[in-house]
Amino acid sequence: MKTCRMPEVRTYNPSRVTIVMNGFPMSGFADGTFVNIVQNNDGIVTQVGADGEIARAINTDRRCTVTISLQQTSPANAYLSTLFNMDTLTCGGTIGPLLVQDLCGETLFMASQAWIVKPADVEFSKEISTRAWQIETGAPSVYVV
């Protein structure tokens, strides 16, 4: 007799996604997508020769860009502004670790070197605006999607 296997139920909870920059836990995330992690380059580059032979090269540039979207009222905006300003004044004195972790799932991103590329754009309206912070990292030490 065949038994039917029930599909597993998985749960995602956005309030259980932790983002920590230089030891500062972020809060006050914008509605919608509030963190986006992109590897800056292809991990493997291929080239096809004239005779059809394929060659692959492992790209050692593993830098990533992480965009964190915050509500304009988030206290993390002031912290990130201070980090950026201090970084430009101290010639890299605020480069530090970045952690993004889904505590209900398996996604984990950790880089020991991260820095703010530029301050978030600022806008005001009758609604709460979003401040999107672009952070670049060195090669992540852990990257589980």
pTM of the complete model beyond 0.85: yes
pLDDT score of 3: 73
pLDDT score of 109: 97
Rounded-to-integer distance, Cα 74 and Cα 22, Å: 17
Rounded-to-integer distance, Cα 70 and Cα 134, Å: 11
Residue 81 and residue 112 in contact, taking contact as beta carbons nearer than 8 Å? no
Question: What token pair was written down for 143?
Answer: 């990257």
Q: Any long-range contacts for 36-45 (C-beta under 8 Å, 24+ apart)?
A: 36/66, 36/67, 36/69, 37/64, 37/65, 37/66, 37/100, 37/109, 38/64, 38/65, 38/66, 38/67, 39/63, 39/64, 40/64, 40/65, 40/136
User: Residue length, the chain?
Assistant: 145
Question: What token pair was written down for 134?
Answer: 């672009």
Checking if the pLDDT of 1 tops 70, the result is no
Q: What is the pLDDT of residues 97-127, one digit of tens each?
A: 999 999 999 999 999 999 999 999 999 999 9
Residue 130 and residue 124 in contact, taking contact as beta carbons nearer than 8 Å? no
Q: Read off the DSSP letter of residue 6.
A: P
Mean pLDDT for 6-28 is 94
Q: What is the pLDDT of residues 22-75, one digit of tens each?
A: 999 999 999 999 999 999 999 999 999 999 999 999 999 999 999 999 999 999
pLDDT score of 58: 95
**Which domains, from first to last, does the chain contain?**
14-144 (2.30.110)
Tell me which of 7-11, 32-36, 114-118, 131-135 is least confident.
7-11
